[in-house]
Structure 1
C-alpha cells in the first residue's frame, strides 16, 4: 500500500512541477483547427481542444495590416468559440484572428508572446454563407403564370434597432435563382430574378409546378455565389376540361357522340318499321 501511495504522490508532484513550468515558460497547448463559421453575417471563430483548468484562450482579431483588438467576451475564456459578429463591422475588409493560449483567470503570465494560432483571412461580405429563403406561391388567373414572393433572409446585423436583411446589405447585387419543374416531370429549368417578386410565365395551363429558390450574388467567387436552397414548394394543379383536352379533341368527341346517337336513331327507326311490317303481315295471314 505504501508503494502505491508513493507512486501516486510522485505523479501528483510531477504534474504540479509540469504545471508550474508551463506557467513560467508559457508553454501551453496551441489551439488547433481555428475556423471561421459564418451564416447571414452571424460569424463565429471556433477551435480546439477544450482547455483543462490549467490554461485558457484569448481571441485577438484585426483588419489585415492593422492593430489587433480584443472581444471582451473572449479573454482568458475556457470556451472554444468566440462570437465576432458585432466586431467585424467593416464588412468588405479582410480579417485575421489569433487564438492565444494563456493561464487561467487570476494567474499572471510574464511572457510577452504566449503560444498562438492564426486563422485564415475572412471577409464577411464575400465569405459569409447565405441561408435559405422562404417564399409563397400565387397562381395567376390565366393558370399559365405563377408569382413567387420571396422573403429576404434576416442577418445578424442591426442598423440602430432595425435588423437588416440580406437585401439591405447586398442591395442590387442580390439576385434570386429559381429552379422549377412540372410536378409530373424530372426535367428542370432555371430563372434568375433581380427582385424578390418573381413572375414565371408561359407555363402549361393548370399544371402543378414545383419550385426551389436560393440567393445568387454574381460578384462573389464561384463557390460563394449561391446561397442555401430553399425547401421545395409546389403549386396546386387547377386543370379545367379544356386544359386536359384540346379543341380538336373535344370537337372530335362531340362529332363521335353525334354519329353514335344518329346511328342509334336510324337503327331504332329501321327496327320499328320492320316490327310494324311483320305485325301487318301476320294480320293479313290471319284474315286469309
Structure 2
C-alpha cells in the first residue's frame, strides 16, 4: 500500500495528544456474504477518539468511504466501495480525534486487515428451490432461485448469476428418504432434471452454489434446507376408477345395512314394551 497520508490541522491542535491517546483498533475482520461486505473491529471508542477506514486495491491509491470517517461505529459497509470484484483489497482502521477536533500528530495509529478479494472470498448463502415430480414417477425437476447480491448496476440489483455468469454451477446432493447413502450431481442450469430415480420412491435433495474457479472451501456455498419428493403413487394410479366406485358403493351398502338393522331393532324393542303394558291389569281407583 502507499504511504499513510499527512493530516493537516483543522484547528489549533489540542495539547497533549500523542499516539497513545488513540488506542489501536483490534480484530479487524472482513465479513462478506453474497457481496454484502463489512469490515468490523473493536473496541467501541470513548469520547476522546474515533475511527476512520481507508481501503485500497493492491497497487492502487487509498480511498475512504464517506460514512466511515471519524466515526463512533465499529463496522463499515464497503459493499459498494469494492467495485473491482476481482481485485485484492487491504483496509486500515485509523484511530483519530473525534469530529471537529484537530491533532498535531502526523500519522495516526492504525491496524491493517487481511487481504480480501470479493469475487474469490465472499461467502454464498444457501439457495431456495422448488420440487416438481415427473408423471413417470422416475424423475424430479429442481427449480433453483438465483440469489440476489448486495451489488447494483444502476437501479437493478444483481444476482449471483449476473456476477459469476458461466462459472456459476449448482451442486445437488440427494438420497433415498429411507437411506443414508448420498449421490452428487453438478449442473450449470438452475433448472435441474433428476432422472433415473427408482419409481415411487421418496428422495431428499439439498442444493448449494458451486464455483469451480474458486479455491478450497470457497468453491461451495451454504447447503440449502433439504426437501423431499412424495414418491408414493397417487390413489388413482393404484386403483382404477371402477374399483374405486365399487369400493364406495360397498361402503355405502354396509352403512345402509347398519342403519336399517338399528331401526328394525329399535322398532321391535318399542313393540315389545307396548305389549307388556297392555298385558298388565288395571289398578283399582
* TM-score, L = length of structure 2: 0.76
CA contact (8 A) 2:34 2:124 kept: yes
Q: Does 1:69 align with 2:63?
A: yes
Tell me the alpha carbon deviations over residues 149-204 of structure 1, each in whole angstroms, 9 at most, x when there is no partner. 00011100011111110000000100000011111111111111111000110101
What residue in structure 2 maps to residue 117 of structure 1?
Answer: 111
Kindly state the Cα deviation for residue 226 of structure 1 after the two structures are TM-superposed.
Answer: 0.1
Kindly state the Cα deviation for residue 25 of structure 1 after the two structures are TM-superposed.
Answer: 4.5
What residue in structure 2 maps to residue 91 of structure 1?
Answer: 85
Q: Superposition RMSD on alpha carbons, in Å?
A: 1.7
Of 91, 94, 116, the match for 1:100: 94
Kindly state the Cα deviation for residue 76 of structure 1 after the two structures are TM-superposed.
Answer: 0.5
- SS of the residue corresponding to residue 57 of structure 1 reads strand
Quote the Cα distance in structure 2 between the aligned partners of 1:34 and 1:195: 38
Q: Does 1:142 align with 2:142?
A: no
Quote the Cα distance in structure 1 between the aligned partners of 2:20 and 2:80: 31
CA contact (8 A) 2:28 2:112 kept: yes
- SS of the residue corresponding to residue 92 of structure 2 reads strand
Report matched runs for 1:135-284 at 5 Å.
Answer: 135-239=129-233
Kindly state the Cα deviation for residue 236 of structure 1 after the two structures are TM-superposed.
Answer: 1.1
Quote the Cα distance in structure 2 between the aligned partners of 1:70 and 1:29: 20
Kindly state the Cα deviation for residue 237 of structure 1 after the two structures are TM-superposed.
Answer: 2.0
CA contact (8 A) 2:19 2:109 kept: no
Quote the Cα distance in structure 2 between the aligned partners of 1:24 and 1:203: 72
Quote the Cα distance in structure 2 between the aligned partners of 1:216 and 1:55: 44
Report matched runs for 1:38-57 at 5 Å.
Answer: 38-57=32-51
Q: Which consecutive segments of 4 or more residues in structure 1 shift more than 3 A?
A: 24-27
CA contact (8 A) 1:206 1:240 kept: no
Quote the Cα distance in structure 2 between the aligned partners of 1:236 and 1:109: 70
Larger Rg: 1
Quote the Cα distance in structure 1 between the aligned partners of 2:234 and 2:84: 56
CA contact (8 A) 1:26 1:109 kept: no
Quote the Cα distance in structure 2 between the aligned partners of 1:172 and 1:219: 11
CA contact (8 A) 1:39 1:131 kept: yes
Quote the Cα distance in structure 1 between the aligned partners of 2:15 and 2:43: 21
The structure-2 alpha-carbon separation of the partners of 1:25 and 1:217, relative to structure 1 and needing over 3 Å to count, comes to closer
CA contact (8 A) 1:26 1:114 kept: no
Aligned length: 224
Kindly state the Cα deviation for residue 217 of structure 1 after the two structures are TM-superposed.
Answer: 0.2
CA contact (8 A) 1:214 1:230 kept: yes
Q: Does 1:29 align with 2:20?
A: no
Quote the Cα distance in structure 2 between the aligned partners of 1:27 and 1:224: 40
